[in-house]
Every structure is written in C-alpha cells, then in structure tokens.
A and B are shown apart, each in its own frame.
Chain A
C-alpha cells in the first residue's frame, strides 16, 4: 500500500528538483556537450566504417577492434605509450619531490627558487618543445656540443629510434615538473610544523623524519599527483607532434598521436575511435587499480 503524498508536498519536491537542476545546468550543459556526447559518439563510431568526413557508412561490429589487436603498428604504439609513461611519471614525481623538499626549507631568498622550480608550469607545450628542439639539435644543440667537447660523438637525439623516446620523455619530465613541484610543495607546507619540532626534540635525524613523517603525511598529495601524471602521460600529444611527429619508425608514436594520425591524416575515423575507446578503458582501469592498491597506504587526516 502506498500513501499518497499531499499535493503541496509533491509540488514542493518538483520545484526543489527544478531549482536544483537549474543550478546544475551550466555544468550539465558543458559536460554534456564537450564530454558525454563526444564520448558516446566515439563509442558509436568505433563500430562503423566511415567516410573521410566521419559519417558512418556501414556497421562493422567489433571489426575495428579485432583488426587493432592483430596490427603491428597498434602494438608498437602501445609499447611506445607504456615506455613513455614509465619513463616520465616516476622521474617527474621523484625530481619534483626533491625540489619541493629543497624549496620547503626556510632560507633567505627561497622565493626565487620556488618561482624558478615552478616556472615550467607557465610555459606552453609549444614554447617548451621549441626550446628542447634547439637543445636536441644535432649540430647546434647544447647536448651534442657538450658531447663533442668531451670527445664523444654526437647523437641524433630525435632521429635515432634508440634515443627518440628517451629524448621526448626527458623534455616532458622538464615540462611537467613545474606543476608537480607546486602541488607537492603545497602538500609539504600543509604538514603541521609541530610534528617536526616534536621530532627534533626527540632527536630523530632528517632521514628518519623524511621516512616516518614527511612521506606518510604527503601520501595523499603524492597519490593525487601520481594519478594526474599518469593520466597526463597517457594523453600526451603536443610535444610528440612538435618534436618527432611519432617517428622515427613509430618509436614515439604514442597512442593519442596514433589516434590523431588515423583520424585526421589517414581519415580512418572508425579505427581511431576504437583506439580512443581502448585508451579510455585502459586509463579507467589503471586509475581504479591505483585507487584499490595505493589508497590503503595513503593516510588521510
């Protein structure tokens, strides 16, 4: 048996829901137009053969997916992506953490260093890529000049398949340090000073304090930075396009760049969509795994 609500109550609830939706409408519209619709459209397109404009022509089921799993190029781009993630994420976090620990000391003029260490955050990917293009330049770049000065032979940083991924990763680490540094410094500054003072009175060493206080207290921030960096690394595009265009011999053809090439150069929208969906699932799974595995070791206050 259901008890009928009085009419006024129903009306009040409806008007509550309406005003709630009205408040939410800006983000619902934005997310809907720029996130939800493209996502669903991509999933839809991944099951179709399309013309060069991306108009679906013929339903092919999981044809694109099965093609991908047997394609050498796809596995190459997976390999490049995983290599890129493994090279950039740990290194970025480690260097940024080291810099943040240094910049968290109370010293005269520390503001200068804090600004310098976070400066790359204010630089566009394009501008930084140009800088690194000069640094890696085989004839005038500083790396090869240095190698020549100590008598070694120069390296084709961006053209040698052996070095290209490493070079792009290094540039990416440099670009990402600013943001990661700033977040980690913020996390460090949020740790209660008295915890260290109490440890000072107890007589523990700097390294004990780092291991027993700083790292556990910083773990939520490290966790956050880890997830953001991982997702960012999977989605890298700009510096690849500017530095190597996915080459040489697909050595730096990371997945997002492969998607771009398939969709907008080869006009193979269906296959590109399938790759995009696979990337989405992979990032989703990894983030979920990170939450499951790491969160237990994170100490929220």
Chain B
C-alpha cells in the first residue's frame, strides 16, 4: 500500500493551462475518486500520475519519493483504460500475462497468477478466447484482471464503466469496490458520473476547469458543498439554487419569497441552495407555497417541479402524492438545511450554528 502526494501539480499544453496547482495526498488503501465534467482535466491528472503525461510543474510523490521523472513502469502501478486497451490479437490469457516477464516471473508463475486473477473475476472459462469473442462486461473483467495480476499496490482507473449498460455498471461498481478492499489497493478512479463517485469512493476530489472545487468524503460534498458548482454537480437531482437579496428579516428571492437560513453574512446578495429532499410538505410552519409545474410519481417518491425566483426547483417527497399541475402546495425547509453562497459562489458557513439551534428552540 502506498500513498500518493500531489504538490502544486500543474499541466499546460502550450499556452493553455489544463491543471492549475493541485495539492492533495491520497492515503494508502484509499479509494479516491476524481470527478468532474468532461474537459475538467481529471483524465490528464490521472495520466500524469501514471507517467503517461509529463508534469509541467509541481511535485508528484509516490510513497514519499519524488516520481516526476520516473517511467510509468517504475511507479509500481496498474491502470485500467476507458476502452480497456486489450490486445485484439492475443487470447485473454496472453492479455492478462502480457508484460509479466519484465517482473522476472517464470512462465509457471505467470500462469499461476493469471489463473488466480481469472478465478477472482470469473474468467476461467474464457482464457483461450480472443477479446472480440467476449461481451463488453467480460472485456471489462479482462482489463481488471490485467490490473490485479501485476499485484501493483496502486491502481488507476479511467472511466472504466462508461462503456457498459446501466445494469452491468451497477454490478461492476460494487465488484470493483470489493476487489479494491480485498486487495488493499490504493485506487484513483476517474469518472464523470457523480453517482459512481458517491457510491464507491472514500474521498472525492471534484475538479472543474483544472481547479479543485472540493476534496472530502462523499457526504461532506453532498451536505456541505464548498461552492455552487459542487452543489449543482453532486446529487441527483442537484441542489436547487436561487439568487436572493438581504432584507431586514431574512433573504428574499426575486419573486418575493422569503427564506431564513442559519448562515450569517454581511453581503447583500447571495445564492440560496436547498436539496430537493429537504423541501418537505409543511405541517405547521410554511417556508413557501409552490405552484406545481410538473409532478413525477416514481412509486417510492414524488418529484415536484415549481419555480422559485425564476429558477426551476425540484422537491423530492417520499411516498406517492396525488397532486395536480397548477395546484399550490405548502412547503417547509428547515433553516439549518439551507445553504448560502456568496457572490463568488463560495459557501458561507453559519457563524454560530449552536446559537441558532438554541434560538429555534426558543421560538
């Protein structure tokens, strides 16, 4: 198990800077997800760690040793590519064992390791086949087998599930996670799918335009997004946002609705954020009334769409609600569950959360 340390890592292609000063330490045995929209630099960052892309400035340390100039093979890592990078002219067995001779393994040892990896991934019956005779999911498994057969302590994965159908993806998600735990791999996993990141990772780094937006545990990113980008990227459906201005008694959206979040700030204009499931049907206190634009009854939950301050908001109510379009419903949001972002989109932390809780009780 090895740690990976990135210190002020940057990458430029000519004049354009695609990675801007990234600092992070990935702990040994950690499942670390790199998430972001396409073109955010996450794959470039992974390739820099793998040694397939040169580092423009900054230091990469693997287990404390500066690794900037190391060849990919000297970094003791394995990598799974998005297209699996299988050799079409080799059998599955050859694909899995390709390159093992460089590690000084005899033919017999190579075969043993191959059989073990094939057994782990359920490929034993397919060892003599060529990749084109396999299904997408089986090819994916060959790529995984190739990564684990080297017994490298670090494993890099570049969107490994994006070519699979939804059902298989869910299955492979948990399989990869179990494999990583079982082998104690330090895993860096690139994906654009926030669901994958949320369900698999110990920690997530969210990138946008080459800059780190937030690093933390999945639930930290979900509950306390550092900025509006994180808020709108993580979660499905994403966090509802609306521009608000400060009034004497709270914050007002452009349509006159008033909100009373816990966060305190001196700025006069901000962005308010509420997660869809935190908008609840009101019992006594009413935060606002919503005129329904659309209703989706999904069986376990009902998704309501309505406008707040010119933005479409979604609310997720548990259960099945027999509502009609155009109907007005009363909604309630707990003040402490409202997020507030300043004009630059940065999260405003409540200054005295304890005090506010006390006040709520008092009211």
Contact = CB atoms under 8 A, between A and B. Distances in A.
Interface stretch (B71-79, B204-212, B224-232, B268-276): B71-79
A247 interface: no
A43 to B, nearest CB: 42
A269 to B, nearest CB: 50
A194 interface: yes
B103 interface: yes
Interface in B128-149: 132, 146
Given A197-B52, A301-B132, A202 B85 contact: no
Contacts of B52: 197, 200-201
Nearest to A219: B89
- Number of chain B interface residues as a range: 20 to 34
B98 interface: yes
Interface string B88-116: 11100000001110110000000000000
A213 B90 CA distance: 9
Interface in A202-241: 202-205, 212-213, 216-217
Contacts of A41: none
Interface string A81-99: 0000000000000000000
A198 interface: yes
A299 B73 contact: no
A200 B85 contact: no
Nearest to A204: B99
A195 interface: yes
Given A195-B85, A299-B88, A299-B89, A201 B77 contact: yes
Contact of A202 (B88, B89, B102): B102
A192 B84 CA distance: 11
Contacts of A217: 88-89
A199 B98 contact: yes
Interface residues of A, number: 18
Interface in B58-93: 71-74, 77-79, 81, 83, 85, 87-90
A251 B81 CA distance: 57
Given A192-B83, A200-B72, A301 B88 contact: yes
B79 A204 contact: no
B182 to A, nearest CB: 22
A192 B73 contact: no
B10 interface: no
Contacts of B22: none
Interface string B32-43: 000000000000
Contact of A200 (B71, B83, B88, B146): B71
Contacts of B73: 200-203
B81 A204 contact: no
A195 B88 CA distance: 10
Nearest to B53: A197
B6 interface: no
6 contacts: A194-B83, A195-B85, A200-B73, A201-B52, A216-B87, A301-B132
**4 A-B pairs with the lowest CB-CB distances in the bound complex, closest first:** A202-B99, A203-B73, A299-B89, A194-B85
